[in-house]
A and B are shown apart, each in its own frame.
Chain A
Amino acid sequence: MIGVENLSVAIHGTPILRGVSLQIAPGEVFGLVGESGSGKSMTALALMGLLPEGAEAGGEILIDGRDLMRNSEPDWCRVRGNDIGMIFQEPMTALNPVRTIGDQVAETLTIHGAAEPRAALEIARDRLDRVGLSHIGMDAYPHELSGGQRQRVCIAAAIALHPRLLIADEPTTALDVTTQAQILDLLSALVEEEGMGLLLITHDLGVVAGMADRIAVMRQGEIVETGPTAQVMAERNHPYTRALLAASSHVPERAAAQRPDPLLQVEDVRREYPGRREGFRRGPPIVAVDGVSFTLHEGESLGLVGESGCGKSTLTRAILGLDPVQGGDIRLFGRSIVPQMPREMRAGIQVVFQDPYGSFNPRWKVDRIVAEPFHLLDAPPRGSERHDRVAEALTAVHLSPDDMAKYPHEFSGGQRQRIAIARALITRPRIILLDEAVSALDVSVRARILDLLAELQDGFGLSYLFVSHDLTVVRAITDRVMVMQDGRFVETGETEAVFNDPQHEYTRALLAAAPRLDLAS
């Protein structure tokens, strides 16, 4: 039995966790749910004795009556990887790029003196087989593996010594839905086989609903509600739990009015990348987008779903006129989109990306960020007109015109996404391309941004091309949807029809893999 009693953490005097208590039994999956900044990850780091510098912790962390809070650093080193293992959100960067995977799994054993190097490698092989990597060599390097495979390596390293507790901090957030489902299945199976406890930390209620025995909902460093999963999901005693559940299945109200004028026409588009170098020649080109056609009408919201590598980003880049197409034609207002197209054409189609912070120059103030697309116009507004236009765009996304004088770091993630939307609106485009635009946001922030997008669509008559791997969001905001696999559309149709009665097996597989709230039992 692993217990946390009245855990509190403060960093430089600022309280981060307040009186957190939880119990995890062997063989139990305990879900810790909350939005970013709620203290989920800090709880995990406290359990690992890996709190950041300047943190002061109080309370007790008990393993079989032993209080880990009294541990010295060498004691903690014996606990980590041995009694408690941990895996993290970003499998792409969680492994050392210059060491083989076998070596990194075996290290857990050698560092604790559990096996001689040779024996450790044999055990590592066995653990890698167990997590489903029997076809991958021990001498493979992380860059040769996919994200899902790397997460499996991390799991193998974390369970190599059969820990009592495995902490999984957003283990599948960075992965595609089908990969996510496989990793969650693996974790469930391991919990059963090993009889270990699993602390599953996630912002995604769907993930814990299908998997956790008990859950705790965290908010502002406190657990506001805890209990058996089915009970919490059914009773929703705390208002925050209710708000969280409502936000995660939020569907914005949208007007259905559409005019059948085609704005963007994509006809039989083909995108290729040069093939692998083979000596002095190149192999056959790699086809990323293969004969794709669709039309985006005025006032319409069109979804494009698919997993990483399916070609949706490549298609997106071609639609924005960033890369040339190798076949077919993309027409905006009847004119072909090519990288050499005139600037004012670009003003008609704007884009919002997943990570607004990465697309802002941190040294620019908001007014300069928002006004930047003006350079696409032949006669950009100046002086007070420019100021008014920026103020108008900020007001449209429910920010204050006073925010113009601030820098991006002064805003929260949701506010930054609003700035990105304001920037996209500034040239008064007809089409906005939303590339995973809400994927990095918490559920409640996401719900508000979706509402905003619906409102702007009604107000400005915008058309959206909504690119996402998140099926719930696509279902909530789009009229029609296109499912992409290996560079082709395998299914297209009215969103509700496709979701309710998928025709293609890939669509069915995607829907089956997606975490669902109603699975709590």
Chain B
Amino acid sequence: MLRYLATRALSLGLSLVVASVVIFALIEVIPGDPASYMLGLNATDETLAALRTELGLDGSKFDRYLAWVGGMLTGDFGVSYTYRVPVAELVLDRLWVSLPLAIYALTLSTLIAFPVGILAAANRGGVLDVAIMGGTQLGIAVPNFWFAMLLVLLFAVTLQWFSAGGFAGWDDPLLAIKSLTLPAVALALPQASILARVMRSALIETLEQDYIRTARAKGLSRRQAVLRHALKNALIPVLTIIGLQFSFLLAGAIIIENVFFLPGLGRLIFQGITQRDLVVVESVTMLLVFAVILVTFLVDVAYALVDPRLRRR
């Protein structure tokens, strides 16, 4: 188990180093000088040079890379060109929206997908299965921003149960959760549809295994065989998808954040790109990469917890 974790952790570290080099190199080759962009067309060479020094844009590439990485390791992500505040501060504010939103949506999607997937697999070929497969097909096909607008129309405009957008802040946790509910539902729908289908097919495959027959021969009912023997074995592909979905939800909610006017990470990086705020883009991208790699690592750990065959490696 320890060796397995050590190799996974090593691969996590290496991935981070490679990612940081790639991100830094990409930002370097993007055309456009942030300093001239910020100061406009009429800036003199002296002011430009002064701003470059202030932003740390002079010096060798290698030095700047080291400074960037070293800064991140100590929690210093640089200062945003446009906002003129530390990037760490900006990110932290947004993270308080994006992270809860991602967790909220993922929790919803898992809570829906597990029972739905299990029901479909247990009734394979039956009316319920066909209905569930049709429903999930629809869930994947419907664009989530359109679904989000429907939610707004119904629950915010007509029923007025929720506000149509904006974020209330965490001073009142209940209010914060309430303002995240509609976006989370909109995000969770397609994810739950995908996850339910994965759950169903993984479970169907497991139900055909010999050990299910053994379990039935011991006197377990179909239901007991599913819950006690099939479910845990079907979890590996499901965990993989959950890991991928979490990474996607953290960064991929740009459109939903725009529909609901949420100050999240997706919007931050979008603004950073349009305004050539490279420090923000660089740091947020790195942070997202870190989150994705960390989630992958956690999924690997979860594999080992589920499957004893991985622990002995």
Contact = CB atoms under 8 A, between A and B. Distances in A.
Interface of A: 48, 50, 73-74, 77-82, 85-88, 90, 93-99, 107-108, 111-112, 141, 143-144, 154, 157-158, 277, 279
Contact of B214 (A82, A94, A144): A94
Contact of B218 (A98, A107, A143): A107
B127 to A, nearest CB: 15
Contacts of A78: 219
Nearest to A53: B125
A85 B312 CA distance: 32
A2 to B, nearest CB: 16
A95 B217 contact: no
B217 A158 contact: yes
17 contacts: A50-B213, A74-B221, A77-B221, A80-B218, A82-B219, A93-B210, A93-B211, A94-B211, A97-B307, A98-B232, A107-B228, A108-B218, A111-B218, A143-B308, A144-B312, A157-B214, A279-B3
Contacts of A81: 217-219
A113 to B, nearest CB: 10
Contacts of A86: 217
A112 B219 contact: yes
A97 B213 CA distance: 14
A99 B229 contact: yes
Contacts of A111: 218-220, 224
Q: Is the interface of B mostly helix, strand, loop or mixed?
A: helix
Contact of B216 (A50, A99, A141, A158): A50
Q: Is the interface of A mostly helix, strand, loop or mixed?
A: mixed
Contacts of A154: 214
Nearest to B235: A98
A212 B101 CA distance: 67
Nearest to B212: A96
A57 B103 CA distance: 52
B215 interface: yes
A134 to B, nearest CB: 22
A88 B214 contact: yes
A61 to B, nearest CB: 15
A50 B225 CA distance: 13
Nearest to B230: A96
A144 B214 CA distance: 19
Contacts of B42: none
B213 to A, nearest CB: 7
Given A81-B218, A86-B217, A111-B220, A93 B209 contact: yes
B185 to A, nearest CB: 33
Given A78-B219, A111-B218, 16 more contacts: A50-B213, A50-B216, A77-B221, A79-B219, A81-B217, A88-B217, A93-B209, A93-B211, A95-B214, A96-B214, A96-B215, A96-B229, A98-B306, A107-B220, A108-B218, A108-B219
Contacts of A73: 221
B201 interface: no
Contacts of B219: 77-82, 108, 111-112
Interface string B271-313: 0000000000000000000000000000000000011110010
Nearest to B313: A277
Interface residues of B, number: 23
B181 interface: no
Contacts of A90: 210
Contacts of A93: 209-211
A141 B220 CA distance: 20
A257 B269 CA distance: 83
Nearest to B220: A111
Contact of A96 (B224, B233, B306): B233
Given A98-B232, A107-B228, A88 B213 contact: yes
A98 B236 CA distance: 11
Nearest to B229: A96
A341 to B, nearest CB: 34
**3 tightest Cβ-Cβ pairs between the two chains A and B:** A81-B219, A81-B218, A93-B210
Nearest to B211: A96
Contacts of B220: 77, 107, 111
A226 B232 CA distance: 45
Most A CB contacts (10 A, CB to CB) among B218, B221, B309, B312 go to B218
A80 B307 CA distance: 28
Nearest to B307: A98
Contacts of A87: 217
Contacts of B306: 98
A277 B6 CA distance: 14
A76 B149 CA distance: 52
Contacts of A95: 211, 214
Contact of B217 (A85, A97, A99, A143): A85
Contact of A97 (B216, B221, B309): B309
A77 B219 CA distance: 5
A74 B217 CA distance: 13
A73 B312 CA distance: 40
A99 B211 CA distance: 11
A98 B210 contact: no
Contacts of A112: 219
B171 to A, nearest CB: 45
Contacts of B213: 50, 88, 94
Contacts of B217: 48, 50, 80-81, 85-88, 158
B234 to A, nearest CB: 10
A195 B198 CA distance: 47
B186 to A, nearest CB: 35
A173 to B, nearest CB: 14
A371 to B, nearest CB: 34
A112 B217 CA distance: 12
Contacts of A79: 219
Nearest to B217: A86
A158 B213 CA distance: 12
A82 B229 CA distance: 19
A98 B221 contact: no
B218 A141 contact: no
A88 B211 CA distance: 10
A97 B214 contact: no
B214 A141 contact: no
A95 B209 CA distance: 9
